[in-house]
A and B are shown apart, each in its own frame.
Chain A
């Protein structure tokens, strides 16, 4: 087995929210909230998720551009392999505990590439000097040697040695990203963190850069943490993937297994949102409605339950899943008083006649994808009662009627990690119980 280069344990990054005269802390945006993963030597781990799920914050906390709030980042590169934990439980390779000298050394071993190549170069510094600056900072004072190293690297990323004295504006986006790669490689690092390195590029250039990354990884024996929102890009470069949602990793596993056998509903939804280059396939699949909720006040239980298409029904209930999702959405919207009966009325009135109450009821049901009658008599009664209250204008009582009757286990309990296959884990309540039955191959 190869050695683990990087292991991240329970990493958290919370941004305090301050208010008032004394700048008191009133809350925190929990951008990254307890993530753990390992990267082996020579391996590429993908980190995938929507905007706002904390991928980039995770990257900058791992590489220590930002001080993590809690957790460990153990980096075994730079010849520090084989270290073991000290008796007091701390690890000598924990980046969060490094002093200045160790940090300088760590910066040599771990590099980063950013999304937008145009804004990550100084327009007034030639690209050769931009790449060579890192060598200078790390103590190589010989100008000619610096130049030789940089020229060699520029050639290895597919540019020419003559480009040393040219300026960033003379290069296209794809070429600039090649220079960014050269800059990341110049100190011969063990780990590169690539934060959406191809999102700003054209499809044809994307493919070029991805294959270059693959080649260089083999040539230099690099480990990569590759961040992207695009599952199809992840598939091209990664060995393993971690799927992130609202500061947490919901599923992690080998890339092929995640693609062929996704376990977490969020992974399924992400996969089905990739545009299929097959004109016969209809636009369809699972639609993720809305956006990621605010990390200042994440949903209770499983954080995905507010958007999940497979949200669990309470024991003894068995209605159409779409109705159930619709009912939950309806409950949430009424709870925050966002169902505007007047607006619904206006919408119907727009098509002619004055709307009757039953038309309004039907319209609200249609809006939330709830069928005309819900398959459970008791629930149907509750829903009708709430609709009546809503039409009478008493949305507060409608809200409490709904929230008393409609509850899901997903909102109450936080899911544990379930192991599906070696190295393939997910956190979803639907799989709990099944884990106990199966032997746990990861525990050895």
Chain B
């Protein structure tokens, strides 16, 4: 593998589902890439196609009704054109998934150890004893105390955070190079979430993995991401380095997502309106119906081309394109600690001096 080649390269990925109400385009021509050792976050509201995009990479969505087009290159190989038998060698071995709800991702009827060794023995030719030793070692590495005695426990005997740790152990059995984590902390408490994020951070270093992380929580993004891809209604709205996007969010959607965070001076209100109907997306920019800066030009044609507004930061917005005026949507200095305008008196009050 050449050094300058990304670990994963997704180009023009389109995923459609045929439903009773016609064709639903969940992901509509999305590009992104992940390098070794890097964490890329896909951010967006529920229903923006984040999960479908990541599940299309290893084709773990059912086809039909799904239909995946485009190219997904993993270490130079096009995954979408590989036969199912070769794809199975890659899933779990080289690309591993962690899902949102650890309760649902495990089988209640088998011990946790059995489930880890099953995954292990599918991918590697190891004896039962070796598999057990390796599984115990993995459980130990993901921070399950007393791993050898917990090996024979059932999932219901673990707490939510521990179950997620087991899921991570299961994902690591094949020593993957790419880990796809789909909202792995959303079902967990804040304190446990902090533990799991720390664990993922450590493991990424240890295993030298690329991580593709899906979340709707920008607070989590700020903690772990190197680069961000903002998705809305199946399209990429903005992409770039985490620092650039948090300092100078270019797209109005990104700005509004950030304003939902209280630390950015957001006083709530959220983003008015809801996502468009995926059966019949609006013309022009997908976000135009909810955008306060939308003009006539935003509502016609296709989603605007992505324009590079700063090195490495690209925005898909009419106002940055030819003939647009970026100053309409430019928001300089939006960021934590700089809550201009929207403060309503309850943000920084010192301790009562008495």
- Give A residues with C-beta under 8 Å from B: 50-51, 172-174, 202-211, 214, 229-232, 235-236, 256-257, 260-261, 269-270, 272-281, 283, 285, 287-291, 333, 338, 340, 343, 346-347, 350, 421-422
Contact = CB atoms under 8 A, between A and B. Distances in A.
A273 B194 contact: yes
A229 B190 CA distance: 7
Given A51-B160, A204-B260, A236-B268, A270 B191 contact: yes
B73 interface: no
A285 B225 CA distance: 18
B193 A275 contact: yes
The 8 lowest CB-CB distance pairs between A and B, nearest first, are: A211-B268, A208-B270, A275-B219, A207-B270, A273-B194, A261-B351, A207-B268, A279-B242
A281 B222 contact: yes
B52 interface: no
Given A280-B243, A347-B137, A202 B45 contact: yes
A338 B146 contact: yes
A207 B269 contact: yes
Nearest to B143: A289
A347 B258 CA distance: 44
Contact of B140 (A206, A236, A347): A347
A276 B268 contact: no
A84 to B, nearest CB: 32
Interface in B205-246: 216-225, 242-243, 246
Contacts of A289: 195
B307 interface: no
A343 B146 CA distance: 9
B1 interface: no
B294 interface: no
Given A275-B219, A278-B246, A338 B159 contact: no
Contacts of B257: 203-204
Contacts of B103: none
B267 interface: yes
Given A204-B260, A235-B262, A283 B198 contact: yes
Nearest to A274: B190
Nearest to A338: B146
Given A204-B270, A340-B146, A283 B197 contact: yes
B109 interface: no
Interface of B: 45-46, 133, 136-137, 140, 145-149, 159-162, 189-195, 197-198, 201, 216-225, 242-243, 246, 256-258, 260-264, 266-272, 274, 335-337, 346, 349-352, 354
Nearest to B261: A277
B270 A277 contact: no
Nearest to B158: A291
Nearest to B349: A256
Contact of B218 (A277, A285, A291): A277
A285 B197 CA distance: 13
Nearest to A278: B336
12 contacts: A51-B159, A51-B189, A174-B274, A203-B260, A204-B270, A204-B271, A207-B260, A229-B190, A275-B219, A278-B263, A343-B136, A343-B147
B216 A277 contact: no
Contact of A277 (B133, B136, B145, B219): B219
A207 B246 contact: no
A260 B246 contact: no
Given A50-B189, A232-B262, 19 more contacts: A174-B274, A202-B216, A211-B269, A231-B190, A273-B193, A274-B219, A275-B194, A275-B223, A278-B335, A279-B242, A283-B201, A288-B191, A291-B159, A340-B146, A340-B149, A346-B133, A347-B140, A350-B137, A422-B354
B239 to A, nearest CB: 15
Determine which residue in A206, A269, A283 has the highest number of CB atoms from chain B within 10 A of its CB, and name it.
Answer: A283
B138 to A, nearest CB: 12
Contacts of B263: 232, 276-278
Contacts of A232: 219, 261-263
Contacts of B346: 256
A283 B219 CA distance: 11
A257 B194 CA distance: 23
Contacts of A211: 267-270
Given A261-B351, A343-B148, A275 B270 contact: no
A95 B192 CA distance: 36
Given A214-B268, A257-B352, A279-B222, A287 B145 contact: no
A424 B172 CA distance: 47
A288 B346 CA distance: 28
Nearest to A339: B146
A437 B234 CA distance: 63
A50 B191 contact: yes
Contacts of B161: 291
B233 to A, nearest CB: 13
Nearest to A233: B262
Contact of A208 (B136, B149, B159, B268): B268
B222 A276 contact: yes
Contacts of A50: 189, 191-192
A260 B147 contact: no
Contact of A236 (B45, B194, B262): B262
A204 to B, nearest CB: 5
A346 B137 CA distance: 9
B216 A276 contact: no
Nearest to A291: B159
B270 A172 contact: no
A366 to B, nearest CB: 13
Nearest to B247: A279
A407 B225 CA distance: 42
B230 to A, nearest CB: 12
A281 B90 CA distance: 35
Contact of B195 (A174, A260, A280, A288): A288
A151 to B, nearest CB: 22
B191 A269 contact: yes
A288 B193 CA distance: 11
A206 B270 CA distance: 7
Contacts of A350: 137
A214 B344 CA distance: 13
Nearest to A236: B262
